[in-house]
């Protein structure tokens, strides 16, 4: 148990860097898609630069952070008494469900990354801006579940996250209208 706080600290550090990578990679996707509409030679110059930036972010920060975060989480859950106790609690099951969604989100980002590295633009910048909110929703859900645990009924907390998602989408639509007017 004396090493538990070290493992937890490392897990949190890599969760933070994983999310930072996910937030920024999608922003770079937006820039790559916008670059595809630029005239030559600007288009080629920007695409080349964004490919380098996304490659480094994805394989030097985001993927290693995802792997290390998962290793330390696995260690906390399966090799500590506290982790074993948490596995018996409903909030942890919901949290692990959101973590599974995060892995799916990460996998989809990998697919988009591969497409853009091959100059295959399948999504709009508006889709990417909205897609970026997926990680935000997962982050909010996980943080509230971990911090509050049983302080509130987790079902209401999850419903609150979906309400938050709707508010984000409405805000996105409002922002899109403002951008179109200017």
Write out pLDDT tens, residues 90-121: 888 888 999 999 999 999 999 999 999 999 99
- pLDDT band with cut points at 50, 70 and 90 for residue 56: very high
Residue 90, Cβ neighbours under 10 Å: how many? 13
pTM score, whole prediction: 0.85
Domain chopping of the chain, boundaries: 4-181
Instruction: For 38-103, give the DSSP string.
Output: SPTTHHHHHHHHHHHHHHHIIIIIIHHHHHHHHHHHHHHHHSSHHHHHHTTSHHHHHHHHHHHHHH
**Number of neighbouring beta carbons within 10 Å of residue 125:** 17
Which of 8-12, 47-51, 78-82, 134-138 has the weakest average pLDDT? 78-82
Task: Tell me the binding residues for heme.
Answer: 11, 95
Which of the two residues, 48 and 146, has the higher pLDDT score? 48
- Residue 28: CB atoms within 10 A of its CB come to 19
Average pLDDT over residues 39-50: 96
Quick check: 18 pLDDT over 80?
Answer: yes
Instruction: Give the per-residue pLDDT at 80.
Output: 81
Q: What is the pLDDT of residue 73?
A: 95
Inter-residue contact 30 to 98 (CB < 8 Å): no
Residue 151 has pLDDT above 60, yes or no: no
CA dihedral 84, 86, 90, 93 (to 10 degrees): -70
- Please give the annotated binding residues, written as ranges: 11, 95
């Amino acid at each position: 148990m004396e090493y538990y706080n070290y493992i937890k600290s490392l897990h949190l550090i890599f969760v933070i860097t994983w999310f930072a990578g996910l937030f920024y990679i999608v922003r770079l996707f937006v820039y790559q898609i916008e670059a595809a509409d630029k005239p030559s030679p600007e288009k080629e110059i920007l695409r080349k630069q964004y490919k380098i930036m996304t490659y480094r972010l994805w394989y030097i920060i985001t993927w290693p952070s995802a792997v290390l975060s998962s290793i330390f989480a696995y260690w906390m859950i399966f090799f500590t008494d506290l982790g074993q106790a948490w596995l018996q609690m409903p909030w942890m099951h919901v949290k692990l469900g959101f973590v599974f969604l995060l892995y799916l989100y990460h996998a989809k980002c990998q697919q988009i990354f591969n497409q853009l590295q091959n100059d295959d633009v399948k999504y709009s910048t508006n889709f990417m801006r909205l897609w970026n909110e997926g990680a935000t929703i997962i982050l909010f859900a996980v943080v509230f579940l971990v911090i509050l645990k049983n302080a509130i009924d987790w079902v209401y907390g999850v419903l609150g996250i979906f309400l938050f998602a709707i508010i984000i989408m409405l805000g996105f639509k409002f922002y899109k209208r403002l951008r179109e007017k200017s």
